[in-house]
Amino acid sequence: MMIDPVCGMEVDETSIYKTMYKGKLYYFCSNGCKKAFEKDPEKYLREGPKGMP
């Protein structure tokens, strides 16, 4: 299982919502999370998913 970097949900690796950023693949639970990540990837990589410490 992969973790959606936007909302913190577990996402199956067969998810169609994924994006490549700096050579690493990120998976998302929905197109909304994918779009949010693509808009500002550094924010989510720096702060982590919502609700996570």
Contacts with Zn ion by CB under 5 A lie at 4, 6-7, 9, 29, 33
The minimum distance between CB 24 and Zn ion, in angstroms, equals 17
The minimum distance between CB 4 and Zn ion, in angstroms, equals 4
11 Rama class: left (phi>0) / alpha (psi -120 to 50) / beta = beta
- Output the CA torsion sign for 34, 9, 30, 50: negative
- Widest Cα–Cα separation across the chain: 28
The minimum distance between CB 13 and Zn ion, in angstroms, equals 15
| Residue whose CB is less far from Zn ion, 15 or 53 | 15
